Amino acid sequence: MARLRRKACVALFLFTLFIFGSLMGLRTLKPTDGFSDLAPGLELLPILGGRMSREATASPVQARPQGGNTKAVLSNSGPEGTIFYDVHIFYYTWYGSPHMDGKYIHWDHILVPHWDPKVASSYPRGKHMPPEDIASSFYPELNSYSSRDPDVLESHMEQIGASAAGVLVLSWYPPGLADDNGEPAEDLVPAVLDAAYRHSLKVAFQIQPYRGRNDQTLHENIKYIIDRYGDHGAFYKFTSSTGKSLPLFYIYDSYLTPPESWSDFLTPTGSHSVRGSPYDSMFIALIVEERHKHDILTGGFDGMYTYFASNGFSFGSSHQNWKAIKAFCDGNNLLFIPSVGPGYIDTSIRPWNNHNTRNRVNGRYYETVLQAALNVRPEIVTITSFNEWHEGTQIERAMPKKTMTRVYLDYQPHGPEHYLELTRRWAEQFNKEKQQWLMYLFVSLEEPSARRRLAGTSGAV
């Protein structure tokens, strides 16, 4: 009996040692071993549902930046620390100043009138008058800057790196086009890519609605972007479970085009299908209303995101609905990408919209929404935003400012970096929890029943 007990103890010790060694081996694998530097083994998760995972590093071919100062592009990421390529952050290049652009752009945004004339009559009209009066409730530490200023661009990349977000999602209009309050800025894309590359960041594109946008014009936009920027080392791609890398595009206000038209572009049998072509990509639609999730599926999109930082503003931006949206996406082989933000206040440009304001509460609102995103275990999270100052969703550094006519909000009692620091802290927590999800998956794969289920659903284990 004692001999059997000793044998059992030896066997248990050897089994424990094997499991420990296997787990340590998983944790020490490098990205070049086929695992992400963010969450070792995360690429196993897409195999379960056939979805895509994100590219962690640029290949040698991709690491050749096109255009701009290629010598400067070869520098290292600098002191910002680890960044995570499944944390995406929306970025805007529509700002201008007299020094760089000959005039203020967007800082002088109009006060948008309410659509109901009776309501509109109760609110002021006109435009802001920078630099003392800008179209924001907060004031940038860099002042009312120009997006064309190289020093500003460099500072932005440093701040994004400090936040640990690895992918900036560039708000994009085709050449010669802009929003109603802006100027064309497509020519800035090479400078953004080069600056991002210097900090090891990636760049994805959020294609904005413009007059005449439809499935046909978007097809041309995708060709333009990939042909022009697809080989740049900072151009962001997902990597499929089969190893194929595809660009990823966010399509803002996708609901403006009928799903039947999108399906001509996004389904394999569509009249001008992009699927299987050199321009095939991951296309992420905006979900605003509940019915949009069915339209997104019908249209052939690969996933959906929520964008808005005001909890309760829409079905998609309401945290209480994220679990159901995630379940719908999981059941239909779609990505769900929740969008989180530090707060919301757009009354500097929509003075009648106070009911959608979400107070930052010194960062507690942000932490609440970050936790809500974490709870649904997404593969990617988007942050709204780095620098959308009009809607007060920015995490860019801000400073206290008081003028004769205005007192701007600020981040006190915390410092200007408060929301960058919160983002990094949360991104690191996201990383830790993903490792826990991996451990759970690893244990599940050890169960014969789990292996049988995987073999029956994905064809690969």
What is the per-residue pLDDT for 60? Answer: 33
| Average pLDDT value over all residues in the chain | 84
Tens of pLDDT along 50-92?
Answer: 343 333 333 333 444 443 332 322 223 444 789 999 999 999 9
CA 185 and chain centroid, separation: 20
What is the per-residue pLDDT for 16? Answer: 52
- How confident is the model over 296-310, as a mean pLDDT? 97
- How confident is the model over 377-399, as a mean pLDDT? 97
- How confident is the model over 84-111, as a mean pLDDT? 97
The CATH architecture that domain 84-445 belongs to is Alpha-Beta Barrel (3.20)
pLDDT bin (cut points 50, 70, 90) of residue 266 is very high
**Do residues 134 and 144 make contact, with C-beta atoms less than 8 angstroms apart?**
yes
**Do residues 257 and 215 make contact, with C-beta atoms less than 8 angstroms apart?**
yes
What is the per-residue pLDDT for 39? Answer: 29
The token pair at 338 is 């929740």
Tens of pLDDT along 419-460?
Answer: 999 999 999 999 888 878 767 766 665 555 444 443 333 332
Taking the C-alpha atoms of residue 389 and residue 398, their distance in angstroms, rounded to an integer, is 10
- Name the more confident of 12 and 38: 12
**Do residues 173 and 218 make contact, with C-beta atoms less than 8 angstroms apart?**
no
Query: What angle in degrees, to the nearest 10, is found between the helix axes of 150-163 and 189-198?
Result: 50
- How confident is the model over 18-29, as a mean pLDDT? 40
pLDDT bin (cut points 50, 70, 90) of residue 47 is very low
CA geometry: angle 429, 431, 436, nearest 5 deg: 95
Residue 284 has pLDDT above 90, yes or no: yes
Residue 285 has pLDDT above 60, yes or no: yes
- What single DSSP character describes residue 414? S
24: helix, strand or coil:
helix
Most confident segment among 29-38, 89-98, 233-242, 451-460: 89-98
Helix or strand (DSSP H, E) at 240: strand 237-240
Question: Cα dihedral sign for 315, 316, 319, 320?
Answer: positive
The token pair at 243 is 């190893």
Domain positions in the chain are: 84-445
349: helix, strand or coil:
coil
Tens of pLDDT along 137-165?
Answer: 999 999 999 999 999 999 999 999 999 99
- How confident is the model over 38-59, as a mean pLDDT? 33
**Do residues 298 and 263 make contact, with C-beta atoms less than 8 angstroms apart?**
yes
